[in-house]
Amino acid sequence: MKNILKISLMVLIAGLSTFASSAYAQSGSNARAEKRQKAMSAWHDDMAKFRARSEQDRQLAELADSLASIQAAAALQNRDFVFEADNVTFKNGMMNFVNSTTNFISVKGNRAVVQISPSSFASGPNGLGGVTVDGMISGMSVVKDKKGRTNLSMNVMGLGINAQIEIYMYPGTNRASATVYPNFNSNTVWLEGTVVPYENSDVIEGSSL
């Protein structure tokens, strides 16, 4: 009888131990699941906040681009602007990323200045690593095409320049491209950059030819 009771007690203890282990394992599993759920909820909250900030930043960027575009278009029409180039491509296909303060096309009334200074190592004729030429403007026209792109065309003639210049500004922004076609040779130059009102530009003009 004692042996039977002893065996029963051992079975009961083993059962309780198994139940306790199972309950502990289940409790641990529930805790881990709850922890994962909290982490996922926090991640979703962070992503929602990030998307909200990104959307707000995008809207602010679009507003800034739109304002810059309006100002640039008015400056083109008023002959009072600077095209500040950040890269220049020459006839041989070589493209140079350049300093926009020393590479530009400026227009003030009937006067235009074209300055290309791709080198930061040599002083060049203008003292800024390149060439600066200026002249009087003739035949200027500013039109907007069906795609909303503003196109400016003008002729510039002076002691060091005799060229046709075309500037194309993309819709909704002040980003633009420009092409300088010299009338006395085929050394065409292509530029990419931004158009800003003359008074808002901080370009540095070198010595003209």
pLDDT digits (tens, 9 = 90+) for 101-145: 999 999 999 999 999 998 766 678 888 889 999 999 999 999 998
Residues constituting the chain: 209
Please give the single-letter amino acid code of residue 99: N
pTM beyond 0.75: the answer is no
Domains observed in the chain? 1-200 (2.40.128.410)
Question: Rg (Cα) of the chain, in Å, rounded?
Answer: 35
Exposed, middle or buried: residue 205 (CB in 10 Å: 0-12, 13-18, 19+)?
A: middle
Residue pair 100/203 in contact (Cβ under 8 Å)? The answer is yes
CB count within 10 Å of CB 194 equals 18
Residue pair 117/86 in contact (Cβ under 8 Å)? The answer is no
Rounded-to-integer distance, Cα 173 and Cα 155, Å: 25
145 is written with which tokens?
């095409």
What's the pLDDT band for 11 if we cut at 50, 70, 90? Answer: very low
Q: What is the mean pLDDT of the chain?
A: 84
What is the reported pLDDT for 147? Answer: 86
From residue 147, alpha-carbon distances to 143, 150, 151, 168, 170 in Å are 11, 9, 11, 12, 9
Please give the single-letter amino acid code of residue 149: R
Above 60 in pLDDT, residue 2? no
pLDDT digits (tens, 9 = 90+) for 75-84: 999 999 999 9
Rounded-to-integer distance, Cα 153 and Cα 161, Å: 16
